[in-house]
Copies of this chain bind each other. A is one copy, B any other.
Amino acid sequence: MIGIDWGISSFRAFRLAADGHVLGRRGAPRGILHIAANGFAEALREEIGGWLAEGETRVLLSGMIGSRQGWVEAPYLPCPAGAAEIAAALVQVPFTGARVLLVPGLADIDDAGTPEVMRGEETQIVGALAGLGAEGIACLPGSHSKWARVAGGRITAYRTYLSGETFAALRGGTILGRMMTDGPTDAAAFDRGVARAADPGHLLHHLFGVRTLGLFGKLADNESASYLSGLLIGHEVQAAHPQGHTVHLIGAAPLCSLYARAIAACGGEAVIEDEDAAARGLALIGRSATWS
């Protein structure tokens, strides 16, 4: 089968053996925002036409491709859900020459009744389930970071934090960003930001400190962005991390490394999953699916 992680900004396709082994892969900067509303079938055929010609007939899509802005909207499935529940709720997409199914997103409700949504992350978490054990915590850092609880092979609940987008908006749209220079993450400045998150006072107060530390020469222009990143990730980890549980980090390695650093600084423990969780999740869901 072919498994595809089709998000806002990128397209990642995997040709998968029956046991989930990745036989081939393709990637393209063809996220759903870069494709016209009626152009998804054509884009898909351009990307995986070769594999279809070689005999593949099953295609499983996950990610924002199943959103209102995507190809076909797949209703959210409520938590708790695992591979079996997700496979039973796949949505068929009209396509000639192969059967194309869509993974639904997962919905949840937080402690105060506010809705939660994810699309794509559920597939990655399913892919990492083997490593998560009977009771686990998965964290998928990013623009909208997700922290999920897993039990008995199912995602039981999760919470979202707008940390990544908030970082970009503060850097691009406030006085804090004016002092920041580009460059690799400065680990010491990142750590200072993480430590600051544990200080008394609210995030909205701590943010002003990014400005004053710079004004008083206590934070250099090339340290400022790393400090802000540590401050936001530190706040997220303080708020989200259940003590006593190892956190399984799923995502791009550089960002996962920063989260692992912040979790360790907060007294926790983290392991970084490899970057093929999406492929494994697509294979697992595909194996439970009804294709005929």
Contact = CB atoms under 8 A, between A and B. Distances in A.
Contact of A239 (B162, B176, B204, B218): B204
Copies in the complex: 2
A204 to B, nearest CB: 4
Interface residues of A, number: 47
A174 interface: yes
Contacts of A169: 169-170, 172-174
Contacts of A239: 201-202, 204-205
Interface stretch (A16-24, A111-119, A248-256): A111-119
Contacts of A170: 166, 169
B212 A115 contact: yes
Nearest to A218: B115
A167 B25 CA distance: 41
A160 to B, nearest CB: 4
A204 B174 contact: no
Given A112-B196, A174-B165, A196-B112, A117 B205 contact: no
Given A173-B172, A173-B173, A166 B204 contact: yes
B159 A201 contact: yes
A159 B115 contact: no
B114 A196 contact: yes
A284 interface: no
Contacts of A11: none
B159 A205 contact: yes
A150 interface: no
A112 B175 CA distance: 22
A199 interface: yes
Nearest to A207: B162
Contacts of A202: 161, 203, 235-236, 238-240
A50 interface: no
